Amino acid sequence: MGGKTPHMFAMEEKDDITIRLVEEGDVEKIATLYREVYGDDYPFKEFYDTEWIKRGVFDGNIRWYVAAEESGRLLGSAAVMINVGDADDLVSEIGRLVVHPDARGKNLGSRLTSAAVDVADQFGDFSFGECRTVHVGSQVILGREGFHPVGIEPLAYDTGDFETAIFVCRLGENARILRKGRPVIIPQVYELASLALASCGLPVDAMVDSQPEPYPTLRDRQAYDLREMSGRELIRVLRLSRDRFLNPEVFGSFRLEHGILKLKQHAAQYLVLHHGDVVLGGLGYTWDEVERKANIFEFVGCDDRSRGSLIEWGLAHLEETFNPRYISIDVNAHATRIQQSLFLLGFAPVVYAPSMVYVMGERFDVIRMVKLRMEPALHNWKLIDDFKPVCEIGERNVLDTTRGHLLDETVRNVSIFEGLTDLQIGEVLKRLHEQTAKKDQVIFEQGSDGQALYIVLSGSVEIRLDGVEPPVHIVKEGGSFGELALLQQLPRSASAKACEKSELLVLHPDDFDHMIMCSPESAAVILKNIAVHVCTRLRDLSEDFAEG
């Protein structure tokens, strides 16, 4: 090969079209192929950049295949990216699949993908790909090659109209043998996990922790400092990370021990939590300015409260600094505390990838959790039948979590929840129930047993005393009433009736009692606020009667 081109030999020839490894002379032709297929508006502009394509041709971790006519014209391409995760994971990605419209019906997509998959099988134990949802072509091709749908990446790519991708994977023999079985997951992951495991031909052995505890947080936020890591802090954070090798919680392509230079080379950054001069932990992330996506790839803390604070405060830092539309994190399917913390902070489980990551002689299942900070317009998908169930579960998880994010904004402004942390707000949201009241509907009557606290999401509710006009109080959007029912189920001291159609959130005493047991710190804050709230209302009523 003379050292001038990395690959020169044809692999397969059929119908005067040769499937072969890419050559340096193909660089301009690849750019032309993408332009002819997608026009000038393809969002991934790097495929028009000949310098970027040339780097891919000579990259030792990429095997790029093309379909070439005798004339030299290219009709398609596909590639396998080797070692896309940590080197020990032996993970390969199948991608860059494109077929010219003139060659449709010649099975070029399958032939190109098959060549890439053969290489992936030689170099790795776990292969994955992403299928588009605007057409079924890649779904059919990768399905034929033994890839199974295990989740979605909702609105992951800005193609002009944000597009969802389907995450598919294929497990090698070693991945099946070395898989660490019986993962312990939170309830919100179970349906997706069960379907993904069954789809991959693995035992559905996931166990549910029905009462998972999130990480607690440090109390005095003002006493702690979260800032970007300096070079001299690298060693100090590394000393905290030894436990991560035995009990990993977060997975990613980078690790702190790779060093500052490699982290910067890949635009990876690190936040470090300080208490005075003491380093308590760090959180690694990457930021994609074009796609407005953040990914958390590492998570190190000296104790549980430091870990909880890093997740909550680090997430708040990313949202305030970058205003991302999409935040993702890959977590261990055996680590329920981080799963629960992320769920309470608005993350949805969208991918369950069995046996994806290798750690100390075992391979772990991975849950990809995503926080979507935009309207979840998930629609107009084109799916083959085998892909529909997992996409429906992923869509439902996203919609449910996004609804919780919308409720979060209202609950955060309710006076009785003032002072709760983000994680504690998530704990409250988990226990609230939605209820609709029609105009003039009586929500409860004076003298009835007190059964719940109510929060007005929209509309308004009047509070009345029997025989007294006008109403003693109008509760508007963001207000609450019926607080004493959380403390004692005494007869109601007033009646409540909807002034108009109103959306309410309801907290029942049983749910509040459970919160007291699971999160006494949250309950203490709420009880204090209820006492202040009731005292204020009594004082206002006394003043009104005195003036009357």
Domains and CATH numbers, the chain: 10-177 (3.40.630.30), 200-412 (3.40.630.30), 424-547 (2.60.120.10)
- pLDDT at residue 195 in the model: 97
Element (H, E) at 412: helix 388-412
Expressed in angstroms, the distance from the first to the final Cα of the chain is: 99
Q: How far apart are CA 131 and CA 140, in angstroms?
A: 9
CA 135 to chain centroid: 24
Place of tokens 């990457």: 286
Q: Which three-class secondary structure state does DSSP give residue 394? A: helix
Q: How far apart are CA 415 and CA 476, in angstroms?
A: 13
Nearest to 177 by CA among 247, 126, 244: 126
Residue 494 contacts residue 442 (beta carbons within 8 Å): no
Residue 299 contacts residue 207 (beta carbons within 8 Å): no
For 361, other C-beta atoms within 10 Å of its C-beta total 7
- pLDDT at residue 258 in the model: 58
Q: What is the DSSP letter of 131?
A: E
- pLDDT at residue 415 in the model: 82
CA 12 to chain centroid: 41
- pLDDT at residue 527 in the model: 86
- pLDDT at residue 10 in the model: 46
Residue 251 contacts residue 365 (beta carbons within 8 Å): no
Residue 294 contacts residue 252 (beta carbons within 8 Å): no
> 325's torsion region: left (phi>0), alpha (psi -120 to 50) or beta?
alpha
Query: Which two structure tokens, joined as six digits, stand for 311?
Result: 């997740």
Length of the chain: 548
Q: What is the DSSP letter of 16?
A: T
Query: Which two structure tokens, joined as six digits, stand for 532?
Result: 């202040």
Residue 425 contacts residue 442 (beta carbons within 8 Å): no
Q: Which three-class secondary structure state does DSSP give residue 414? A: coil
Q: How far apart are CA 242 and CA 23, in angstroms?
A: 44
- pLDDT at residue 3 in the model: 39
Please report, in tens digits, the pLDDT of each residue of the chain (548 residues total).
333 344 434 456 666 889 999 999 999 999 999 999 988 777 778 888 999 999 999 998 999 999 999 899 999 999 999 988 776 789 999 999 999 999 888 899 999 999 999 999 998 899 999 999 988 999 999 999 999 999 999 988 887 778 899 999 999 999 999 999 999 999 999 999 999 999 999 999 999 998 888 999 988 888 999 998 877 777 677 677 666 666 789 998 776 655 666 666 667 888 999 999 888 988 989 999 988 999 999 888 889 999 999 999 999 999 999 999 999 999 999 999 999 999 999 999 999 999 999 988 899 999 999 999 887 777 779 999 999 999 999 999 998 887 666 677 778 788 888 888 888 888 888 888 889 999 999 999 998 887 788 999 889 999 998 888 888 889 998 888 888 777 777 788 889 999 999 999 999 888 888 888 877 888 888 888 888 877 876 776 666 655 65
Query: Which two structure tokens, joined as six digits, stand for 132?
Result: 């588009």
- pLDDT at residue 548 in the model: 56
Residue 530 contacts residue 487 (beta carbons within 8 Å): yes
Q: How far apart are CA 138 and CA 411, in angstroms?
A: 43
